[in-house]
Amino acid sequence: MELSGYGVGSRVAIGEAVRMPAPLPEPKDVPFRGDEAAEKARAEASIAAVQEDLAGRAATAEGAIKEVLEAQSLMAADPTIAQLVDQAIEGGKTAERGVFEAFATYAETLRSLGGYMAERVTDLNDISQRIRAHLQGVPVPEVPERDAPFILVAIDLAPADTGKLDLSKVLAFVTRDGSPKAHTGIIAAEKGLPAVVAVAGADDIRDGQELIVDAGRDLVIVEPSEAELGAARAEQQRQAEIEAAPLEPGALADGSAVSLLANVGKPADAHIALEHGAEGVGLFRTEFLFLDRDEAPSKETQIADYTALLEPFAGKKVVARVLDAGADKPLSFLNDAEEANPALGMRGIRILREKETLLRDQLEALRAAQDATGADLWVMAPMVADAADSEYFTNLGRSAGLQTVGSMIEVPSAAVVAEQILETSDFVSIGTNDLTQYALAADRVLGTVANYQDPWHPAVLRLIGMIGEAGAKAGKPVGVCGEAAADPRLAVVLVGLGVTSLSMAPPALAGVRASSAERAPGDRAGVSRHPASNIPCVAARRGRERAAFDVSGRG
C-alpha cells in the first residue's frame, strides 16, 4: 500500500514501524477547591523545571535545533503564560487544566496570525505536554527507545523531538501532520534524515509493519512487495555510492562550474560543511549570536564569533546574511511592537534600517573577521523588496569597508525588479522557501496548504527565471540558498534558469553534486529550451506524473 505525503530530502529508508506514544489526553475540566496558592506554586515549579530542561538541551545542541530549543525555552519562561495559568487557577481550574488552557489560548493567538508565528504552535503544544507531564509525574510522550533500528511514525514531531533523534536507531520518520518547510523538516534535512510528512493514512500504520520511506518520491510504502524492496535497496546502494564519491567541485557534465555551498548557523557547523565537501558557505545565518539576549552583542563579541566561523574557510567564499530578525525571531531590543501579521511586517532589512547603529556594528564586525581570516566574505541583506533597499544596504556596506555586498530575493517584488536591484547589488541570493510562500500566499508551515509550498510551481520557476536572466544581463552571480537547492532534480533546473551557485544543508551536497555532474546544459533533468524564448521548459516534478509546462508562459 502506498501513502503519499511531502518528502524531506531524497533518501530512502527501509525498516520496521514504531509509533510515537499518544499525546497526553486533555485534562478534565473539574472544579478545583484546594489551596489556590499551593496550586499556583505547583504550576510555577513545573514551568520552571521544563524551562530549565529546554535551556539545558539548547546549551548542548547545534545548528537549527539549538535555535529552536532556545526559542522554546523563552516561550516556557514567557510571563504571559504564567499569568494565564494563574488566572485559570484563580477561576477554579487545576494546575493541569490551567496549563492546558493557557497554552491553547496562546497557540490559537499565534495560529490566527499565520505565517511564521503559526509555526510556533507545534512548539507550544510540546511545551504544554512537558509541563503537564511534570505536574502529573508521568513520562513525556517522547521518541521510544529500541535496541534495533526503526522508522518512527507519529502524529507530528516537535522540533525538540526531531533534534534528539538517535541517528543510529531512527532510520526515518513519517508524520500525519506537519510541513516539510517547518522547523521539524529543516532539522531533518540538516541531519540528512529521510522523512515524509503530512501523510494521509499515517494513523493506520501499525507497530511492526515493514515500511519503505522514499523521501525523494514523497512516498511511504506499507508492507512492500519483494519487487518494491529490491528497487528500494538498489536506490540505497546508488545513494551510498554517491556518498562515497570523491569530494570534487560542483560542475556539469560539460565542465561548466556550479558552486556547491553549505548553509550554516554557527562556528561548529563549519567543519561539518567541509567534511561534506562544501566549497564555501552560501548562507551564514548570523542571528545565532543575537537570539536569547536582552540586548545586542557587543562588536567585540561579534568579531570573535564571526572570526571562529570564517577561519576554516580562509580563501573560500562565505556569504553572510546580516541579522534576519522579526516574524518568528522577535528580539526585544529591536522591535517589541505587536503586529497583526509579522511575516509581512518589520523584519529583515526593514527593521535594520530603523536600527542602523546595530547594523553598522554588525557590518564592521564582519569586515574585521574577514580581515583576520582571509575568507572571501560576501554580505547580503534579508527581505529586500526593491532597488531602494538594495541601494541603501550596498552604500552602508561599502562605508564599512566591505567589497561584495548583495541582496536576498525572497519577496516577489524583488524578483520582478531584479535588474534594478542588480544595478547596485554585487550579487543576489534567492531564498526559495519564502519566495514560494509569498508568491503562492501559502503559509510554509501549514500542512493543509503544503501542496502550494512547492518550488516546482511554474509561478516560482518563472520568478527564478526572471532573476537568472537579470543576473546574466548584469554579469553578476545569482545564488539559491533555500531548500530547493537541496533537491538533486530541481538543482539542475535552477542552473538552467541562470543560477550560478547552490547552497544547502551539508548532507544534501553529495546528491546534488552527482546530479549536476551527470548532466550537460542541454540535458538538465527534463529542461529544454523553448524556441521562442531563452527560458527553460520543465517536464518533471519530483518524480510525480505531470504534464510539461512552460515557465515562459508560451508553451
Catalytic residue numbers read 183, 481
Considering only CA atoms, which of 316, 426, 427 is closest in space to residue 376?
316
C-alpha cell at 19: 509509533
Report the C-alpha dihedral over residues 205, 206, 209, 212, rounded to 10 degrees.
20
Chain centroid to Cα 9, Å, comes to 12
Cα gap 232→216, rounded to integer Å: 11
- H helices of 176-319, where? 183-191, 226-243, 269-275, 299-310
Q: Show Cβ contacts of residue 181 under 8 Å, excluding neighbours closer than 6 positions.
A: 433, 437, 444, 445, 450, 453, 483
State the angle between helix axes of 63-76 and 121-136 in degrees (0 to 180), rounded to the nearest 10.
60
SS3 283: strand
Cα gap 454→471, rounded to integer Å: 23
For the chain, what is the radius of gyration of the CA atoms? 24
The region that residue 9 occupies, defined by phi over 0 for left and psi between -120 and 50 for alpha, beta otherwise, is left
Strand partners, 210: 16
SS3 429: strand
C-alpha cell at 359: 547594523
- What are residue 458's phi and psi, to 5 degrees? -60, -30
DSSP 383-410: S--SHHHHHHHHHHHHHTT-SEEEEEE-
